[in-house]
């Protein structure tokens, strides 16, 4: 008996799993046929044209290794982490393969890993995108400005948690609805032009005294290297938005004089990092278990969220209260996340204590980034 082709499997799977529905809104869509059903994703071709062009070019066979063919057809979901992500796009099926080239990151304010069903690029650090992509199974905002978001699932979300390791992608087919999507065609030349316009990674890759992030006393877990990821994140946020967020973690609070208060101490750091007027700085002192914030002078009114001046807010205590409320909210979120991770951990693989500080740092930096992203 003749076996169905990948295209035939796609058609059968597509017909069996998609109910009759109204025509979709204008846009660019990817139908990903799997043994568990069809996942349909809207691709953000106007907001993230470089990343979408890569995905579409590979899916349609206009990019990728020779001989050109639909790249994703027949590849596996080689990585499945329940409650986190499903990952595919590696021709080797090991997590080490790619299309034979790398292209730059594309970070867009407002495109977040804020729900299940977000499509984003897997990478091995800044500007190392290739063919591997993942789909989130839950909100994972800590991945923002580390991985390039380029789409979201609009149909077949029920399929996502059913995907099993080594499940095959039968086929990926691109659908264009409307004139703008129909005009989005990918060639080597058009892709190269998008790559040429991308902003390269702008900062030091290793945390340090002049880098966006530093953990000189190695308070964070080192496997994987969390400090390096935070450094990438803050540098990527700056290249995408122009806004500077900086962070420092110290084992001890060591003021220049016994009477120096933390606020004056971090003011000095803010000046050294050039964020004293229009940037944000978060500093943690482990020995006193205290976070301190520096809000650039030009941002105080916006941070407090009410009419007035920085001088008025400082005198009334409103500025201090706003900072303490921000810190308390971040720490509460970290406490909840840490408790959930401890509950889910197995007895032979407990959550390390340093993970709590990592989660606090996640919450603190995400909060500062969200502050800048707000209109």
Catalytic residues: 79, 84, 87, 123, 134, 143, 147
Distance (Å, whole) CA 245 – CA 11:
48
CA dihedral 198, 60, 102, 139 (to 10 degrees): 80
Distance (Å, whole) CA 365 – CA 233:
9
Digit-coded pLDDT (tens) for 122-158: 999 999 999 999 999 999 999 999 999 999 999 999 9
pLDDT of residue 16 exceeding 60: no
Q: What is the pLDDT of residue 207?
A: 97
Q: What is the pLDDT of residue 263?
A: 83
For domain 6-197, give the CATH number: 2.40.100.10
pLDDT of residue 12 exceeding 90: no
β 27-34/118-121 pair status: unpaired
Q: What is the pLDDT of residue 56?
A: 99
Distance (Å, whole) CA 52 – CA 172:
13
Evaluate if pTM is beyond 0.85: yes
> Mean pLDDT across the stretch 234-248?
98
pLDDT of residue 3 exceeding 50: no
Q: Per-domain residue ranges for the chain?
A: 6-197, 213-373
> Mean pLDDT across the stretch 322-336?
98
Strands, E, within 182-253: which ranges? 213-214, 245-250
- Mean pLDDT score across all residues of the chain: 94
Instruction: From the options 3.40.50.9100, 3.30.565.10, 3.10.310.50, 1.10.3720.10, give the CATH code of 213-373.
Output: 3.10.310.50
Q: Any idea how long the chain is? A: 375
Q: What is the pLDDT of residue 5?
A: 53
* 213-373 has the same fold as 6-197: no
pLDDT of residue 315 exceeding 70: yes
Digit-coded pLDDT (tens) for 151-189: 999 999 999 999 999 999 999 999 999 999 999 999 999
């Amino acid at each position: 008996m003749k076996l169905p082709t990948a295209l035939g499997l796609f058609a059968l799977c597509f017909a069996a799993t998609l109910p009759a529905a109204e025509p979709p809104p204008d846009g660019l869509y990817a139908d990903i046929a799997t043994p568990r059903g069809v996942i349909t994703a809207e691709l953000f071709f106007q907001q993230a044209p470089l990343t979408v062009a890569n995905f579409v070019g590979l899916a349609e066979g206009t990019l990728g290794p020779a001989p050109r063919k639909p790249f994703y057809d027949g590849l596996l979901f080689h990585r499945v982490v329940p409650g986190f992500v499903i990952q595919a796009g590696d021709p080797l099926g090991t997590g080490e393969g790619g299309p034979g080239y790398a292209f730059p990151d594309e970070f867009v304010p407002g495109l977040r890993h804020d729900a299940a069903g977000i499509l984003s690029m897997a990478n091995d650090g800044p500007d190392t995108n290739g063919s591997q992509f993942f789909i989130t199974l839950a909100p994972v905002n800590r991945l923002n400005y580390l991985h390039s978001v380029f789409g979201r699932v609009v149909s077949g979300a029920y399929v996502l948690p059913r995907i099993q390791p080594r499940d095959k992608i039968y086929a990926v087919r691109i659908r264009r609805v409307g004139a703008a999507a129909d005009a989005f065609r990918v060639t080597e030349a058009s892709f190269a032009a998008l790559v040429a316009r991308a902003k390269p990674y702008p900062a030091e890759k290793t945390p340090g005294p002049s880098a966006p992030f530093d953990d000189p006393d190695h308070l964070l877990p080192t496997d994987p290297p969390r400090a390096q990821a935070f450094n990438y994140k803050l540098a990527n946020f700056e290249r995408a938005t122009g806004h500077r967020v900086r962070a420092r973690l110290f084992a001890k609070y060591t003021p220049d004089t016994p009477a120096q208060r933390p606020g004056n101490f971090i003011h000095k750091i803010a000046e050294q990092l050039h964020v004293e007027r229009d940037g944000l700085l978060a500093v943690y002192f482990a020995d006193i278990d205290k976070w301190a914030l520096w809000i650039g002078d030009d941002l105080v009114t916006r941070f407090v969220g009410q009419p007035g001046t920085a001088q008025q807010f400082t005198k009334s205590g409103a500025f201090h209260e706003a900072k303490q409320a921000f810190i308390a909210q971040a720490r509460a979120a970290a406490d909840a996340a840490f408790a959930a991770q401890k509950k889910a951990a197995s007895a032979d693989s407990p959550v390390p204590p340093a993970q709590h500080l990592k989660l606090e740092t996640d919450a603190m930096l995400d909060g500062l980034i969200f502050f800048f992203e707000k209109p």
